[in-house]
Amino acid sequence: MKEHARTLHHLHERPLSALDAIFMRRSVTAYTPQPLDESTVRALMDAAVQAPTATHTEPWAFIVVQDRAALERISDRAKGSWVKEAAHYRELHAGADAAMTSAFVERFASPDFCVFYDASTLIAIGARPLGPFVVADCWLAAENLMLAACALGLGTCCIGSAVPALNSPDTKSELGIPSDVEIIAPIIVGVPSETATEVSRKDPTVLSWTRAE
Ligand SMILES: Cc1cc2nc3c(=O)[nH]c(=O)nc-3n(C[C@H](O)[C@H](O)[C@H](O)COP(=O)(O)O)c2cc1C
């Protein structure tokens, strides 16, 4: 374990076990304005890069945004681009809860709504799209990061709706992201200001289970 990760463990009395974090993690959409310090952000990235990676490629790279004005600018771009993007996914939304979908659309229309829920920190994971497993590698790193944050009492939420805006030339040039790097997994992180809502899960669908006779 790296030195700053060890320091972080001392800061938190008793980090949750892996299973506790898996079952307790929920997407957090309300945050206090408290900023995250550099050692916390580094500890989360260290946890992220412990994820499995196809042929040990470790293709990921991290973009950290802790400037509120920049987050608001990207949010505004995201709100504009997501409305167009969402039109391509009508079928997917048709299967979702109608009230939830319309609440989502309504939120995106509100000028006050920030797609990053006013979280203090955005950690976006991206990579050069060089192989078939780069996307999987980035998402596995993202889940590690979210579980580590949960174990330490921090909140996170994937912000898929910001992907097109983060990959726009304007945002890439503003944040210094090379044009051939694709942002795949944007995760907000912060101190939760309220307990996240319980979200149920369907039982696992098992299509086939072959056992020896
Ligand atoms: C790929 C991906 C994209 C997501 N994008 C968003 C988003 O743009 N905005 C948001 O509020 N939540 C987003 N979420 C969070 C999901 O809505 C959330 O994970 C889901 O409702 C289950 O709730 P839970 O994470 O609390 O278990 C995203 C989750 C994933 C995995």
Q: What is the pLDDT of residue 190?
A: 98
Q: Residue 152 burial (CB < 10 Å; 0-12/13-18/19+)?
A: buried
Confidence of residue 109 (pLDDT cuts 50, 70, 90): confident
For 105, list phi and psi in degrees, rounded to 5: -60, -45
Tens of pLDDT along 4-14?
555 455 445 66
Q: Is the CB of 161 under 6 A from ligand 1?
A: yes
Confidence of residue 92 (pLDDT cuts 50, 70, 90): low
Mean pLDDT, residues 77-97 taken together: 70
Q: Is the pLDDT of residue 35 over 80?
A: yes
pTM recorded for the entire structure = 0.90
**Closest protein CA for atom 5 of ligand 1:** 160
151: closest CA among 1, 43, 37?
A: 43
Mutate to test the pocket of ligand 1, among 77, 116, 159, 188 (most ligand atoms within 8 A of CB): 159
In this predicted model, which residue has the larger pLDDT, 2 or 115?
Answer: 115
Mutate to test the pocket of ligand 1, among 22, 23, 27 (most ligand atoms within 8 A of CB): 27
CA distance linking residue 137 with residue 131, whole number of Å: 10
Q: What is the whole-number distance in angstroms between the Cα of residue 155 and the centre of ligand 1?
A: 13
**Closest protein CA for atom 4 of ligand 1:** 160
Q: What is the pLDDT of residue 197?
A: 84
Q: Is the pLDDT of residue 36 over 60?
A: yes
Q: What is the whole-number distance in angstroms between the Cα of residue 159 and the centre of ligand 1?
A: 7
Mean pLDDT, residues 177-199 taken together: 95
CB 60 within 8 A of CB 44: no
Mean pLDDT, residues 83-106 taken together: 66
Q: Is the CB of 80 under 6 A from ligand 1?
A: no
Tens of pLDDT along 189-209?
999 999 888 899 999 999 999
Q: What is the whole-number distance in angstroms between the Cα of residue 24 and the centre of ligand 1?
A: 15
Lowest mean pLDDT, pick from 13-22, 65-74, 196-205: 13-22
Q: What is the pLDDT of residue 179?
A: 98
Q: Is the CB of 157 under 6 A from ligand 1?
A: yes
- Determine how β-strand 121-127 pairs with β-strand 61-65: antiparallel
